[in-house]
């Protein structure tokens, strides 16, 4: 019943007090209350329980390491800030993650903090065999007495700490490609109606030339150079390939020694440029139309106004401030039982460490390992094109997020710093943290006299890595029941193929025609993550809990049913390091159990690994024994893997594998080598997300995120005694009549309506001895909104002129040295 106005004045005070202390009872009232969110304050006093031992280097730490190494490596003539790729210089400096065996005693036994070390990559270019070499520097802080530099070999299955640098002089390689295009300007004008324009590369009709190089097992470095139309400042170059290709032997480290072998156009190979020119003169020579830029590659439409676009869409708000706690200095987060640290690395981006739920251990580490894209096609570029994106830097290319678009306006934003090429660069606001309420409930139930609905709120840690043409949105998502999801969504320009209309082309074998002279290239995205599970401790084992059909004879069925066709659970222990695929018909549950910890019912505490929300099951690589990838991505052959944790195997891949595909620094096959798993091992699961991408017309101009999403979830399995979200969730029980719950129509004797004095079995005594009094109408659990909210425009539409800092973003190209080139190409 609605309270009388005489009571309202008293209720104002009660409700205000209830909001403050979290009382769950909110009576109905027509009175409105206002709360100005501009006055909200964060929890600045919140502190992490321990220091973040995985944190990236500070700028002062990086500067001291640069100074130390320049002095230490005097005889190597190391340049701190290189001006060309031919100098000896320190490519990257970042934290060397401490060994788990050193961290756990610090976290759980109050042992001393692990020593802090740095990992550096030296670009060494003396002689004719340039190399990229890993070293470790420490302990930190730098001290002339104690700090030393040693070769870093223990994380690599190869035993090596270096790879050959296939492309040291990036500018020279670009010059070679442009010069080659200029030499055939007569051909490009004839076939494409355009030529290279060095004076104005943004000329909408000008051509650019880019190579794709591959190291073959023979040791030869071969590349195909393809021409592209850049468009009028368009970033859609990968939609504008042209159909002329030249094969280059780039085996020499001296670009002046490179040679051009073959030419390819419209399905035919020509052994020389002269042969190509003569063929063009033939009246029967088959030409294809050029691929020309235009509005069709634009990602924005500022003019069209269909009905409804005149109104802004709904947005999420957070009027009372965040419900999570954040220690910015240590990058430590606490939210409804979850606690964890986060950090970022240049190769792999955001990683999470020491994930706990309700005080119990769940994971030691959750981190990206590698992101692969493997193409197929009938032209020299698409036919063998592959990328390992950590080489270009998933953290290096994690750029500033757009408030109100990438993340809600109310999100917290964190910066990262890069220490590369003698300098430190800040990447502002490239990680966001926010709580969000889903458009679907966490749970609900309708009974005869009540309806209960629980809102589904979750916490997200988000970053976006833009590698060349693709933007990967990477989410770590935490749910109130203890579930954790890893989700990746892709957008950006597809890497298209030139549409060749000739008798040799197999229609739609590799993709679809999507414009006048553009077809799509099918490709696999396989993105690998590491989950070092510590389910209630490090002593874990893994099982496959199968749901199998069976035929059973029950005594209670006799004599009418001799045998019953049914199903049952059958457990299979995973006894060796192995790879697994998602089971047919979802017929198995993959569960990592604590070896000894049990819940109140005697069931072992566990976490289930399941293919998460998205476009079907997360995939593995279609290509078997990839010619281009060699041994650099064995992890992509199965959906997930289970291996033993070893300090000497901290990662399943290395960014420099891209330069040594057939002899990688980290060969995943050496990690997952069928070693027997002991009864109480410390297990690590490597798992893949991604998609088999067959682009279609809807991918032009950009691939859409809702059709490219993929995820894997870690779901509590008997981890708690009951659903832990009941303690944290916000919801409502709408009591329709009286106080009784449950029941079905016709079950109440005589059809009586429950009276006020009848006991409600859904209401239990609270641990404090208090008792909640159920009443007709809305009964809230958790704290609902109880007053009007005053909103600023900034909370609905952030002022991006003020809040977005970046003026120039160095998006990496996808050339062999595109990532490293950004260090010195712009140096004076």
pLDDT tens figures, 189-204: 999 999 999 888 788 8
More confident residue, 192 or 23: 192
Quote the CA–CA distance of 238 and 47 in Å, as a whole number: 46
pLDDT band at 12 (very low <50, low <70, confident <90, very high): very low
Least confident residue range of 28-42, 131-145, 540-554, 804-818 = 28-42
Active-site amino acid positions: 389, 470
What are the structure tokens assigned to 350, written together?
């955001």
Quote the CA–CA distance of 452 and 106 in Å, as a whole number: 44
Mean pLDDT calculated for residue range 166-187: 87
Beta strands in 694-783 (DSSP E): 710-717, 731-735, 777-781
CB 430 within 8 A of CB 401: yes
Q: CA quadruple 513, 518, 519, 525: dihedral positive or negative?
A: negative
Please state, for a pLDDT cut of 90, what percent of the chain lies above it.
Answer: 75
Quote the CA–CA distance of 71 and 123 in Å, as a whole number: 16
Least confident residue range of 96-105, 178-187, 227-236, 686-695 = 227-236
Mean pLDDT calculated for residue range 492-503: 90
Quote the CA–CA distance of 132 and 124 in Å, as a whole number: 6
pLDDT band at 769 (very low <50, low <70, confident <90, very high): low
List C-alpha distances in Å: 398 to 37, 462, 465: 30, 10, 4
What are the structure tokens assigned to 136, written together?
């470790």
pLDDT tens for residues 688-703? 999 999 999 999 999 9
More confident residue, 684 or 250: 684
First to last CA, the chain: 77
List C-alpha distances in Å: 131 to 78, 162, 665: 14, 6, 13
Mean pLDDT calculated for residue range 60-79: 96
Place of tokens 């979750």: 458
Quote the CA–CA distance of 801 and 402 in Å, as a whole number: 11
Could you tell me how many residues make up the chain?
Answer: 828
Quote the CA–CA distance of 396 and 425 in Å, as a whole number: 10
Q: CA quadruple 580, 581, 582, 583: dihedral positive or negative?
A: negative
C-beta neighbour count of 256 within 10 angstroms: 7
> Rounded to the nearest 5 degrees, what angle is found at the Cα of 420, between the Cα atoms of 415 and 425?
35
**pLDDT over 50 at 750, yes or no:** no
pLDDT tens for residues 469-485? 999 999 999 999 999 99
pLDDT at 818: 62
User: CATH 3.10.450.40 region(s) of the chain?
Assistant: 170-298
Mean pLDDT calculated for residue range 658-670: 95
pLDDT band at 390 (very low <50, low <70, confident <90, very high): very high
Quote the CA–CA distance of 374 and 223 in Å, as a whole number: 17
Quote the CA–CA distance of 187 and 290 in Å, as a whole number: 12
pLDDT tens for residues 573-631? 999 999 999 999 999 999 999 999 999 999 999 999 999 777 767 889 999 999 989 99
pLDDT at 198: 85
More confident residue, 683 or 505: 683
pLDDT at 13: 37
The DSSP-derived string for 384-442 is G-EEEGGGT-TTTTB----BTTTB-TT-EEEEEEEEETTEEEEEEEEEEEEEEE-SS-S
C-beta neighbour count of 705 within 10 angstroms: 15
Mean pLDDT calculated for residue range 420-430: 95
Quote the CA–CA distance of 685 and 667 in Å, as a whole number: 16
Least confident residue range of 200-214, 386-400, 532-546 = 200-214
**pLDDT over 90 at 232, yes or no:** no
Query: Treating both helix axes as pointing N-terminal to C-terminal, what angle do 170-183 and 185-192 enclose, rounded to 10 degrees?
Result: 70
Place of tokens 């960014």: 655
Beta strands in 507-562 (DSSP E): 513-515, 518-519, 523-533, 540-552
**pLDDT over 90 at 826, yes or no:** no
Beta-sheet strand order (sheet of 731-735): 443-446, 450-454, 731-735, 777-781
pLDDT averaged over every residue in the chain: 89
Q: CA quadruple 312, 316, 320, 321: dihedral positive or negative?
A: negative
- The contacts of residue 263 (CB under 8 Å, 6+ apart) are 244, 245, 246, 247, 269, 270, 271, 272, 273, 275, 276
CB 59 within 8 A of CB 93: no
Mean pLDDT calculated for residue range 90-98: 97
Per CATH, which fold does 170-298 belong to? Nuclear Transport Factor 2; Chain: A, (3.10.450)
Describe the chain by its helix, strand, coil percentages, rounded to 5. Answer: 15, 35, 50
Mean pLDDT calculated for residue range 519-529: 96
CB 150 within 8 A of CB 135: yes
Beta strands in 438-483 (DSSP E): 443-446, 450-454, 457-467, 470-479
Quote the CA–CA distance of 498 and 519 in Å, as a whole number: 6
Quote the CA–CA distance of 613 and 486 in Å, as a whole number: 10
- The contacts of residue 828 (CB under 8 Å, 6+ apart) are 83
List C-alpha distances in Å: 322 to 325, 339, 456, 716: 7, 15, 16, 25
More confident residue, 825 or 683: 683
More confident residue, 693 or 7: 693
Q: Which of 399, 495, 248 is nearest to 812 (CA)?
A: 399
**pLDDT over 70 at 37, yes or no:** no
What are the structure tokens assigned to 726, written together?
């009941």
**pLDDT over 60 at 159, yes or no:** yes
**pLDDT over 90 at 74, yes or no:** yes
- The contacts of residue 436 (CB under 8 Å, 6+ apart) are 316, 408, 457, 458, 459, 460
CB 70 within 8 A of CB 80: yes
pLDDT at 762: 54
pLDDT at 747: 67
Least confident residue range of 258-262, 567-571, 584-588, 758-762 = 758-762
Mean pLDDT calculated for residue range 111-115: 96
- The contacts of residue 676 (CB under 8 Å, 6+ apart) are 575, 576
- The contacts of residue 377 (CB under 8 Å, 6+ apart) are 383, 385, 497, 510, 511, 521, 522
The DSSP-derived string for 156-213 is -TTS--EEE-S-S-HHHHHHHHHHHHHHTHHHHHHHHS--B-SS-TT-TT-BEEEEEE
- Listed ranges 197-211, 543-557, 605-619, 782-796; the one with the highest mean pLDDT: 543-557
């Amino acid at each position: 019943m609605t309270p009388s106005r005489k009571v309202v004045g008293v209720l104002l005070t009660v409700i205000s007090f209830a909001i403050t202390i979290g009382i769950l009872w909110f009576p109905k009232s027509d009175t409105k209350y206002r709360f100005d969110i501009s006055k909200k304050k964060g929890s600045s006093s919140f502190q992490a329980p321990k220091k973040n031992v995985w944190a990236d280097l500070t700028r002062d730490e990086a500067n001291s390491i640069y100074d130390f190494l320049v002095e230490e490596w005097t005889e190597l003539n190391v340049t701190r800030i290189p001006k060309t790729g031919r100098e000896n210089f320190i490519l990257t400096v970042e934290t060397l993650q401490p060994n788990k065996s050193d961290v756990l005693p610090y976290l759980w036994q109050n042992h001393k903090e692990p020593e802090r070390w740095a990992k550096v990559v030296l670009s060494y270019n003396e002689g004719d065999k340039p190399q990229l070499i890993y070293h470790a520097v420490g302990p930190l802080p730098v001290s002339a007495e104690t700090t030393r530099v040693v070769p870093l070999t223990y994380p690599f299955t190869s035993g090596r700490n270096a790879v050959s640098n296939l492309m040291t002089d990036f500018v020279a390689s670009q010059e070679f490609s442009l010069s080659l295009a200029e030499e055939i300007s007569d051909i490009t004008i004839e076939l494409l109606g355009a030529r290279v324009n060095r004076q104005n590369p943004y000329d909408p009709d000008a051509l650019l030339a880019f190579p794709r190089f591959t190291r073959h097992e023979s040791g030869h470095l071969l590349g195909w150079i393809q021409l592209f139309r850049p468009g009028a400042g368009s970033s859609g170059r990968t939609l504008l390939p042209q159909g002329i290709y030249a094969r280059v032997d780039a085996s020499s480290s001296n670009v002046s020694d490179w040679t051009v072998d073959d030419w390819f156009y419209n399905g035919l190979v020509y052994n020389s440029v002269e042969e190509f020119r003569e063929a063009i003169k033939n009246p029967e020579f088959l030409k294809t139309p050029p691929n020309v830029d235009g509005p069709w590659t634009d990602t924005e439409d500022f003019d069209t106004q269909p009905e409804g676009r005149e109104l802004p869409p709904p947005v999420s708000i957070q009027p009372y401030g965040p419900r999570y706690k954040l220690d910015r200095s240590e990058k430590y987060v606490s939210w409804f039982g979850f606690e964890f640290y986060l950090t970022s690395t240049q190769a792999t981006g955001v990683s999470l460490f020491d994930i706990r739920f309700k005080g119990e251990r769940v994971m030691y580490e959750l981190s990206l390992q590698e992101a692969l894209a493997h193409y197929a096609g009938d032209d020299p570029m698409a036919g063998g094109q592959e990328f390992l994106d950590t080489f270009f830097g998933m953290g290096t290319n994690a750029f500033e997020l757009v408030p109100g678009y990438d993340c809600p306006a109310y999100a917290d934003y964190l910066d990262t710093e890069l220490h590369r090429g003698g300098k430190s660069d800040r990447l502002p606001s490239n990680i966001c943290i926010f709580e969000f309420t889903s458009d679907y409930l966490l749970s609900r139930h309708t009974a005869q006299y009540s309806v209960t609905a629980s809102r589904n709120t979750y916490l997200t840690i988000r970053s976006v890595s833009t590698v060349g043409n693709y933007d990967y949105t990477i989410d770590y998502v935490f749910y109130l029941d203890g579930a954790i999801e890893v989700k990746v969504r892709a957008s950006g320009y597809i890497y298209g193929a030139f549409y060749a209309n000739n008798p040799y082309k197999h229609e739609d074998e590799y993709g679809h025609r999507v414009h006048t002279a553009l077809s799509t290239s099918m490709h696999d995205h396989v993105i690998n993550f590491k989950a070092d599970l510590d389910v209630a401790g490090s002593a874990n084992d893994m099982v496959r809990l199968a749901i199998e059909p069976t035929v059973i004879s029950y005594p209670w069925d006799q004599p009418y049913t001799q045998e019953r066709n049914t199903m049952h659970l059958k457990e299979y222990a995973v006894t060796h390091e192995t790879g697994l695929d998602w089971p047919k018909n979802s017929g198995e549950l993959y569960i990592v159990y604590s070896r000894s910890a049990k819940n109140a019912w005697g069931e072992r505490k566990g976490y289930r690994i399941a293919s998460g929300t998205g476009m079907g099951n997360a995939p593995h690589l279609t290509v078997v024994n990839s010619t281009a990838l060699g041994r650099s991505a064995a992890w992509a052959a199965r959906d997930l893997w289970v291996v033993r944790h070893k300090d000497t195997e901290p990662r399943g891949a290395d960014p420099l594998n891209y330069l040594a595909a057939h002899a990688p620094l980290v060969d995943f096959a050496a990690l997952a080598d069928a070693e027997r798993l002991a009864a109480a091992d410390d297990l690590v699961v490597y798992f893949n997300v991604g998609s088999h991408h067959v682009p279609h017309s809807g991918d032009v101009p950009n691939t859409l995120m809702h059709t490219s999403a993929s995820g894997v979830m870690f779901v509590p399995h008997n981890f708690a005694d009951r659903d832990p979200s009941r303690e944290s969730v916000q919801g409502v029980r709408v009591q329709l009549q009286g106080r009784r719950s449950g029941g079905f129509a016709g079950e109440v004797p005589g059809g009586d309506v429950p009276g006020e004095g009848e006991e409600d079995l859904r209401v239990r005594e609270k641990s404090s001895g208090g008792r909640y009094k159920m009443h007709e109408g809305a009964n809230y659990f958790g704290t609902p909104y109880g007053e009007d909210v005053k909103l600023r425009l900034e909370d609905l539409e952030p002022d991006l002129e003020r809040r977005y800092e970046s003026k120039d973003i160095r998006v990496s190209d996808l050339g062999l040295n595109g990532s490293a080139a950004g260090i010195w190409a712009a140096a004076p």
